[in-house]
Amino acid sequence: MNLMKFQLNAMRELLIAMEENGRDIILKSPTGSGKTIMLTHFMSEYVKGHSRTVFVWLTPGKGNLEEQSKRKMDLYIHNASTKLLGDVMTSGFSENDCCFINWEKLTKKGNNALKDSERTNFLEWIEKAHREGLQFKVIIDESHQNFTEKSDAIVQLFKTDKIIRCSATPLSDKGARLIEVTEADVIAEGLIKKLLVINQDFPSLVETDSPTEYLLEAALKKHGELAAAFSSTGSNVNPLIVVQLPNNSDSLFDSVADWFEKQGISIAGGNLAVWLSNRHENLENIERNDGKQIAVIIKQAVATGWDCPRAHILVKLREGMDETFEIQTIGRIRRMPEARHYGNDALDSCYLFTFDSKFTQGAKAALGKNALSAKTVFLKNEYKKFSLVKEQRTQVVDTQDDAQTLKAITKYLKEKYNLDKDTAQNKIRLEAGGFVFRDKIERTTFSGEAMVISDVNAENLNTVRFRETMSTHSHGREFHNRVGRIGLEIGLEYASAVTILGKLFANEGKFLYKEKLLELSIKNWYAFVINNFDELRHSFRFAMSQDAGLNQALGLETVSEKPFFIPQSSLFTYDAAAKIQSEFKKNVYTGYLSSAETRSAPEKLFERFCENSAGVDWWYKNGDKGDEFFSIVYVDNSKRQKLFYPDYILCINGEPWIIETKGGFDRNGESEDIDAFSPAKCAVLQKYLVRHKLHGGFVRQDKASMELLICTGEYTDDVTSDAWKVLREVIG
């Protein structure tokens, strides 16, 4: 097999990197670039000049990827010594072996692939190989997936001096040697399609009774156009439609299969394939360019490792749920079926049809913008005995008062939107305030074209609005999901949340309430909740925060006090790509870096201040949830206990301080604090400090003066108030 120029270059770079000092090598290569071809030829070349070598190729658990990779090496490299885990368990490791192992068979809880005795045997085979002088080199395929402490422990067993991490979207590692194959390189060689076309020819406003059928119709129409174009070029390629269902949906499968059957495409007829975790039908020869399957129904799990170059069209369905869009799925439709471009724009492109707007977020994540590195840091000896008293809730079950919650939400909405008992007038006022009143469900998505993943963003695409006819049957699941999410915003059970929403807005007889704000029919109530999901959950949260807990004293019978000690170790996440990686010496942990993430802008400013302030002896960044961290109890407007985790504990001139950081004041003095509970948290913090004879307060930045300010009394959003003092003047 002849390798492409970029593949030969990548192979050469890998061989060079193996002779360099660093352990970690990253191969970043787009889906469809022939990554397996590059790596198998690389391994074959490397073992020719390095005796006593064993390659261990680790794959994630989905899609039998280890078996696919082994088959490809057997095909590309004649007489290659390849093994799977079962072969290793039988005969161990030998010189020049290339062993393909699914690491989840070794690490996943409940996985019966290896019993305890067999696991011991696996370790014994590794130790035997070491005694015989064999040297392991590790390749981690799809390295962006599931690389946990358990999988890392497996890697450590091999005591390797070289780890090659491979992915189209690898995690960032500034210390690793990066070998990158660009999308442009692969497109130029004709291996992947030139363009991703998103929602082609969609109007700016789509109105439909069934978004699923709308997308499927667009996909099938595109299939017909592509099939005709392939036929005109003399190519016997049957373009494949890939229909991806949400992972948590079973009901949607039946409607998709029924729709295809009406078009003459069915499971019984053999031209509709199914690849689900518990169902595999008509998959034989689906990868062949002339395969008879017109469409395949999949879920997220099949996205990794599946190679079907004739896949041209992806239909990504949703049910209004919040599911992450994996940009790698698009890679399944990017390969060229005959490894060449046709000089025909239609055939040299792939097509995505979706009403999901989150694929732009998936693209951003895939580019590694959110990738962080992690390490364990340990507490310095001098801080191991430091302690405070922390507060915890005493109730095993929260005693939330639903009547009080309803009263608080009603009061908040009435005051914010100037509502009264006139429900018709209330509708006008809520609509003026941004609420949507329609008997249809409204969403937004995008359309346009992208050559590379970095082009898949909202700025480069056109916005498409679509409206679908509301049905309490077909939208019931989404309605219940939204009600549950709104309730979770303030800790309500579903039953309580739906009752409150019904009493406020529905005209159903079981939801009687003398202060009802709207009189919506059940159908319009469903649409109201779905369309105004964000507005409603924010309203619930803000209603619980208004003057919450400010006048409620928490007695010792409702608060449990326990000693708090700074945790002995912590998993520290940081941005390894940051230019500055200096260690903050005043932090209580050894190895705490200036590139700590995730941190808000106020937190970063405050940490820098602590490190550079002569008055600060040491400082500790508290966690934001968990029994091991420092907490104080407060209550919301429903009398529900909540835990407040102040951001920092520090020592100033020998005395402990407790500090919470918040969003600052802009150049016009307007507040940028988005936490509705700040006044309540500040109040309970001050009471705690007085009770325990400590110091502390809330810290915010004034962007007009570029100074950090501290409030040690009653919380206010007025930057000109005497409550806010310059931090450096208070601490020194």
Query: What is the band of 556 on the pLDDT scale with cuts at 50, 70, 90?
Result: very low
Q: What whole-number distance in Å separates Cα of residue 81 and Cα of residue 703?
A: 64
Find residue 101's DSSP bridge partners: 58
Beta strands in 311-396 (DSSP E): 311-316, 349-354, 373-379, 387-393
Residue 43 has pLDDT above 90, yes or no: yes
Find residue 280's DSSP bridge partners: 275
Is 668 domain-assigned? yes
Mean pLDDT of the region 101-110: 71
Least confident of 124-138, 455-469, 676-690: 455-469
Residue 300 has pLDDT above 80, yes or no: no
CATH of the domain at 178: 3.40.50.300
What percentage of the chain exceeds 90 in pLDDT? 52
- What element of type H or E holds 84? strand 82-84
The whole-number pLDDT of residue 372 equals 62
Q: Are residues 327 and 362 in contact, defined by beta-carbon separation less than 8 angstroms?
A: yes
Whether 519 and 667 map to the same domain: the answer is no
Single residue among 141, 156, 186 that ends a domain in this structure: 186
CA distances from 729 to 44, 114, 649, 710, 725 (A): 67, 63, 19, 10, 8
Position with higher pLDDT, 425 vs 393: 425
Mean pLDDT of the region 443-453: 81
Whether 86 and 104 map to the same domain: the answer is yes
Residue 120 has pLDDT above 70, yes or no: no
The whole-number pLDDT of residue 410 equals 94
The whole-number pLDDT of residue 532 equals 94
Single residue among 496, 512, 545 that ends a domain in this structure: 545
At residue 350, the 3 state secondary structure works out as: strand
Mean pLDDT of the region 305-314: 84
Is 550 domain-assigned? no
Whether 341 and 478 map to the same domain: the answer is no
Whether 322 and 225 map to the same domain: the answer is yes
Tell which residue, 574, 601, 595, 597, has the closest CA to residue 674. 601
pLDDT one-digit tens code per residue, 265-278:
999 999 999 988 78
The whole-number pLDDT of residue 107 equals 66
Mean pLDDT of the residues in the chain: 86
Residue 593 has pLDDT above 70, yes or no: yes
CATH of the domain at 353: 3.40.50
CA distances from 116 to 86, 113, 148 (A): 15, 10, 21
The whole-number pLDDT of residue 249 equals 65
Question: How is residue 382 annotated by DSSP?
Answer: G
Is 566 domain-assigned? yes
Single residue among 137, 153, 186 that ends a domain in this structure: 186
Whether 215 and 156 map to the same domain: the answer is no
- Domain holding 331, by residue range, is 195-366
The whole-number pLDDT of residue 40 equals 94
The whole-model pTM stands at: 0.66
CA distances from 105 to 61, 122, 150, 372, 604 (A): 8, 12, 12, 26, 41
Tokens 């690898």 locate to: 170
Whether 270 and 383 map to the same domain: the answer is no
Q: Which residues contact 669 (CB under 8 A, 6 or more apart)?
A: 704, 718, 719, 720
Tell which residue, 578, 517, 512, 570, has the closest CA to residue 543. 517
Is 450 domain-assigned? no
Is 460 domain-assigned? no
Is 63 domain-assigned? yes
Whether 589 and 719 map to the same domain: the answer is yes
Position with higher pLDDT, 501 vs 107: 501
Whether 167 and 289 map to the same domain: the answer is no
- What element of type H or E holds 216? helix 211-233
Whether 622 and 582 map to the same domain: the answer is yes
Whether 667 and 636 map to the same domain: the answer is yes
Q: Are residues 275 and 347 in contact, defined by beta-carbon separation less than 8 angstroms?
A: no
Mean pLDDT of the region 252-257: 90
Is 338 domain-assigned? yes
Position with higher pLDDT, 514 vs 460: 514
Tally of structural domains, the chain: 4
Backbone angles phi, psi at 481, to 5 degrees: -60, -45
Handedness of CA 192, 275, 304, 140 (dihedral sign): negative
Whether 309 and 435 map to the same domain: the answer is no
The whole-number pLDDT of residue 324 equals 53
Query: What is the band of 307 on the pLDDT scale with cuts at 50, 70, 90?
Result: confident
Whether 278 and 417 map to the same domain: the answer is no
Output the DSSP codes for 107-132.
Answer: H-TT--SS-HHHHHHHHHHHHHHHHT
Beta strands in 397-482 (DSSP E): 440-450, 462-469
